[in-house]
C-alpha cells in the first residue's frame, strides 16, 4: 500500500498497517524535517523496523536532489540480517511501484569472521584469530615479499579484488551477509574488503553499534560518512551501557580512541624513537605492577592517576595520550602480523591513551583481592567509564539526525540527560545462586537456577556490578541525576524489556505478573512505557492469589477465541489504505 504523510508518499509493503506504525512514521518524519535528534518509543511486536525503513527510504525518494543516507545500527548479527530481509521486501515493493528510479544499494557490514570466504582463515576458532590470519595474508609487506617468493602464502580472494581495481563494485540491490559471501565467491573477490569499500557509496548501511560508538572502529569505517546521513540505533534501551563498554573495551583494531583535535597533534619527540617508547612502556608496566601490590581498594580519577604516574616514573599526560598511536606505528614499522599475540601490551597502551585523554568521566579502580576470597591475592586494575555521552557525543556532532528507538525507553526524559544531548526480604528457604569470576562455575549455577525455576522450586540468582556505585556518584555530581532516579530507571527499563519479549506480534498474548509490591507506587509504575501502563489498571493492583487466578482464567478464556485481525469487535488493530485516506481527510478538515 502507499499513502501520504504530509508531502511524502510512503511505500509500505503490506496491505494493512498498525495504527502504532502510522503514528510512529508521523513523528519520525517530523524529526527528519527538523534535522535534529529524537527518541521514539513504540510497543514491541508492532513492526517498528519496517515502519522506520519505509518512512526513511520513502523520504529519500521524495527528495531526489538531496538524498539521505541511512546508517542503521543493530545490536547483533541476527538483528542485522532480519533488518536486511525486511529491506529486501520493501525494495522489491518500491521497484514494482516506481520502477528503476527506486533502485538503491544497501548492505550489511560485519567482522571478517562473518564475511571471510577463505577456508584457511575463517576456520579459526575466534574473531581475533580470524583477524590475525587475514592480516598475515593481506598485509602490504607480506604481499611485497610474495612477489619475490611465490612460496609465501597470500589470499587469492584479496588479490583478485585488488587486481579488479575500480571494477570491483556491487551492483544495486540489497545484500545480506550471506549475499555478500555468495557474490564474493562468484567473482573471486574478498567480500569483507569489498563491503568496506562500498559502504561510502551505499544508500543504506546496516552494521553494529560499535561501528559508530567505538572510536577505534569509527575512525576506520565511518569517518567519511556525510553529515546529511540519518543514524538509527534500534533496540537502544541499553545504549548508555553500550557507550560505556565502547570506551572501556580492550579490542584492538587500528586507531587510538582520541577526539579529532588530538589526532591532529604531533607525537611527542621523547617517544618518537622506538627505544625511547619501549623504555616508557617498561616504566609504565613497572608502575602498574607496583600499584597492584596494594592491600586496600583504591579509586581515583584520571587527573590524580596521571599526576601519580608523572611523579613516580616521569611519564607525563601527553606521552600517555599517544601510547596507542605510537604502538600501532611501531607494529606497522616492524611488519608484525600476529597482532593477537600482543593483546596485553595493546590493552595497556589503550588504557594509557584513555587516562591521558579524558580528565573526567572515568575512574581507575584497584582491587587487591576478590571480596569472597580475601585471603587469596587476585589484584585487578579496572578503568571504569561513567559518562555515556563521551562515546555518543561525536555521533551527535557529526550527523544531523540521530534516531534512538526501542519498545522500552520510558522514562524517556532521562535518556537525553544520560547521553548529554540537549530493605527487601527474600522468601525463606529459597535457593540462592551467586555469579562468580569462574565461567564454568557461573554457567553451572545458571543451569541449576533455570532447573529450579522450571520445576517450581524457585530460586534467586545474584550477580554483581562492581562499578555501579562509582557511576552513581559521577551521574549525581555531573548531571544532577539522583541515585534513586537512575536506579529506578535502570530497573524499570529491564523489567519493561522482559515484558516486551512476551509480545512479538499483534497475535501474541501472555500474562506478565509484576510481583514486587513497589509496582503499586505511582512514582515507580509511571516510569513504565505507556503501552504497558494502559493495561495496568487499578483494579488489577494488590490482588489476592485467588483473585489473580480468577482474572488469569478469564483472560485465557477470552484469548482462546478466534483472532479477528480486522478489529470488527471494537478498535481497529490494522489500517487499510482506505482507513488512512479517511484519517487524512479528517485531519485536513480539522486544519
3-state SS record for 301-327: CHHHHHHHHHHHHCCCHHHHHCHHHHH
Contact between 383 and 351 (Cβ < 8 Å): yes
Give the three cell numbers for residue 228: 546529511
**What pLDDT does residue 147 have?**
84
**What pLDDT does residue 258 have?**
39
Domains 2-127+157-242+394-406 and 260-387 alike in fold: no
The closest of 53, 48, 49 to 70, measured between CA atoms, is 53
User: In a 3-state reduction of DSSP, which class is residue 506?
Assistant: coil
Torsion of CA 275, 280, 286, 290, to 10 degrees: 170
> Mind listing the pLDDT tens digit for each residue in 163-199?
888 888 899 999 999 999 999 999 999 999 999 899 8
**What pLDDT does residue 257 have?**
37
Q: Which CATH number fits domain 260-387: 1.10.275, 3.30.450, 1.10.1760, 1.10.8?
A: 1.10.275
The whole-angstrom separation of Cα 180 and Cα 293 is: 51
Contact between 74 and 206 (Cβ < 8 Å): yes
> Domain limits of the chain?
2-127+157-242+394-406, 260-387, 424-559
Distance of CA 319 to the CA centre of its chain: 31
User: In a 3-state reduction of DSSP, which class is residue 268?
Assistant: coil
Residue with cell 573495551: 249
Contact between 35 and 229 (Cβ < 8 Å): no
CATH tag, 2-127+157-242+394-406: 3.40.50.300
Contact between 10 and 64 (Cβ < 8 Å): no
pLDDT tens string, the chain, 591 residues long: the values are 888 888 889 999 988 888 888 888 988 888 888 788 888 888 777 788 899 999 999 998 888 777 788 999 988 889 999 999 999 999 999 999 888 888 899 999 998 889 999 888 888 877 878 888 888 888 888 888 888 888 888 889 999 998 888 888 899 999 999 999 999 999 999 999 999 899 888 999 999 888 888 776 777 777 778 888 889 988 888 888 878 877 764 332 223 333 444 444 445 555 667 788 888 888 888 888 888 887 788 888 888 888 988 888 888 888 888 888 888 888 878 777 676 677 788 888 888 888 888 888 888 888 877 666 666 777 888 888 888 888 788 888 888 888 888 877 777 777 777 887 772 233 345 677 777 777 788 888 888 888 877 766 677 777 653 446 667 777 787 878 887 788 888 888 878 877 777 777 777 788 888 878 788 888 888 888 887 888 788 778 888 888 888 888 888 888 877 766 555 555 666 778 888 877 777 655 544
**E strand spans, 386-436:** 401-406, 431-434
Contact between 378 and 170 (Cβ < 8 Å): no
Helix 343-357 × helix 323-333 angle, to 10°? 150
The answer for residues whose C-beta is within 8 angstroms of residue 482's C-beta and 6 or more apart is 476
Give the three cell numbers for residue 76: 547483533
Query: Which pTM value belongs to this model?
Result: 0.67
The whole-angstrom separation of Cα 63 and Cα 125 is: 47
**What pLDDT does residue 260 have?**
47
State the DSSP string of 190-238: -HHHHHHHHTTT-SEEEEETHHHHSHHHHHHHSTT--TTPEEEESS-TT
For the chain, the 3-state helix, strand and coil shares in percent, each to the nearest 5, are 55, 10, 35
The whole-angstrom separation of Cα 99 and Cα 505 is: 31
User: In a 3-state reduction of DSSP, which class is residue 137?
Assistant: helix
Amino acid at each position: 500500500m502507499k499513502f501520504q504523510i504530509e508531502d511524502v508518499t510512503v511505500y509500505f509493503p503490506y496491505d494493512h498497517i498498525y495504527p502504532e506504525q502510522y503514528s510512529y512514521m508521523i513523528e519520525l518524519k517530523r524529526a527528519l524535517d527538523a534535522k535534529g535528534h529524537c527518541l521514539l518509543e513504540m510497543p514491541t511486536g508492532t513492526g517498528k523496523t519496517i515502519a522506520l525503513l519505509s518512512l526513511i527510504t520513502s523520504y529519500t525518494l521524495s527528495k531526489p536532489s538531496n538524498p539521505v543516507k541511512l546508517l542503521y545500527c543493530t545490536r547483533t548479527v541476527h538483528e542485522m540480517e532480519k533488518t536486511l530481509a525486511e529491506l529486501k521486501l520493501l525494495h522489491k515493493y518500491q521497484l514494482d511501484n516506481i520502477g528503476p528510479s527506486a533502485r538503491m544499494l544497501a548492505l550489511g557490514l560485519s567482522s571478517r569472521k562473518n564475511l571471510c570466504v577463505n577456508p584457511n582463515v575463517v576456520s579459526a576458532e575466534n574473531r581475533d584469530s580470524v583477524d590475525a590470519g587475514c592480516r598475515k595474508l593481506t598485509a602490504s609487506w607480506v604481499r611485497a615479499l610474495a612477489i619475490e617468493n611465490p612460496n609465501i602464502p597470500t589470499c587469492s580472494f584479496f588479490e583478485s579484488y585488488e587486481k579488479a581495481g575500480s571494477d570491483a563494485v556491487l551492483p544495486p540491490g540489497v545484500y545480506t551477509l550471506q549475499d555478500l559471501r555468495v557474490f564474493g565467491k562468484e567473482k573471486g573477490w574478498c567480500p569483507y574488503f569489498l563491503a568496506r569499500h562500498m559502504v561510502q557509496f551505499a544508500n543504506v548501511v546496516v552494521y553494529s553499534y560499535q561501528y559508530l560508538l567505538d572510536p577505534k572502529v569509527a575512525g576506520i569505517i565511518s569517518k567519511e560518512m556525510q553529515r546529511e546521513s540519518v543514524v538509527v540505533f534500534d533496540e537502544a534501551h541499553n545504549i548508555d551501557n553500550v557507550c560505556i563498554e565502547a570506551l572501556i573495551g580492550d579490542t584492538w583494531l587500528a586507531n587510538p580512541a582520541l577526539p579529532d583535535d588530538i589526532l591532529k597533534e604531533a607525537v611527542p619527540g621523547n617517544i618518537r624513537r622506538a627505544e625511547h617508547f619501549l623504555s616508557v612502556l617498561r616504566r609504565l608496566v613497572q608502575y602498574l605492577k607496583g600499584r597492584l601490590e596494594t592491600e586496600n581498594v583504591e579509586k581515583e580519577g584520571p587527573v590524580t592517576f596521571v599526576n601519580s604516574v608523572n611523579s613516580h616514573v616521569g611519564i607525563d599526560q601527553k606521552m600517555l595520550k599517544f601510547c596507542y598511536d605510537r604502538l600501532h606505528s611501531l607494529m606497522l614499522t616492524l611488519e608484525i602480523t600476529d597482532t593477537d599475540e600482543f593483546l596485553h601490551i595493546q590493552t595497556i597502551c589503550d588504557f594509557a591513551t584513555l587516562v591521558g585523554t579524558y580528565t573526567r568521566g572515568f575512574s581507575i579502580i584497584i582491587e587487591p583481592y576478590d571480596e569472597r576470597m580475601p585471603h587469596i591475592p587476585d589484584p585487578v586494575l579496572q578503568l571504569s567509564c561513567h559518562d555515556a555521552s563521551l562515546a555518543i557525543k561525536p555521533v551527535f556532532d557529526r550527523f544531523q539526525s540521530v534516531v534512538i528507538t526501542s519498545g522500552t525507553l520510558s522514562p524517556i526524559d532521562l535518556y537525553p540527560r544520560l547521553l548529554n544531548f540537549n530493605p527487601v526480604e527474600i522468601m525463606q528457604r529459597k535457593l540462592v545462586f551467586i555469579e562468580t569470576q569462574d565461567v564454568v562455575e557461573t554457567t553451572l549455577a545458571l543451569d541449576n537456577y533455570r532447573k529450579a525455576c522450571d520445576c517450581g522450586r524457585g530460586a534467586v540468582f545474584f550477580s554483581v556490578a562492581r562499578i555501579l556505585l562509582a557511576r552513581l556518584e559521577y551521574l549525581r555530581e555531573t548531571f544532577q541525576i539522583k541515585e534513586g532516579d537512575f536506579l529506578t530507571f535502570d530497573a524499570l527499563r529491564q523489567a519493561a524489556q522482559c515484558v516486551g519479549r512476551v509480545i512479538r506480534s499483534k497475535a501474541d498474548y501472555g500474562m506478565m505478573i509484576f510481583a514486587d509490591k513497589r509496582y503499586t507506587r505511582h512514582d515507580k509504575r509511571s516510569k513504565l512505557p505507556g503501552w504497558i501502563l494502559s493495561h495496568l489498571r487499578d483494579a488489577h493492583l494488590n490482588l489476592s492469589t485467588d483473585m489473580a487466578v480468577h482474572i488469569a482464567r478469564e483472560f485465557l478464556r477470552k484469548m482462546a477465541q478466534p483472532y479477528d485481525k480486522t478489529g470488527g469487535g471494537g478498535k481497529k488493530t490494522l489500517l487499510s489504505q482506505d482507513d488512512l485516506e479517511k484519517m487524512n481527510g479528517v485531519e485536513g478538515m480539522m486544519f
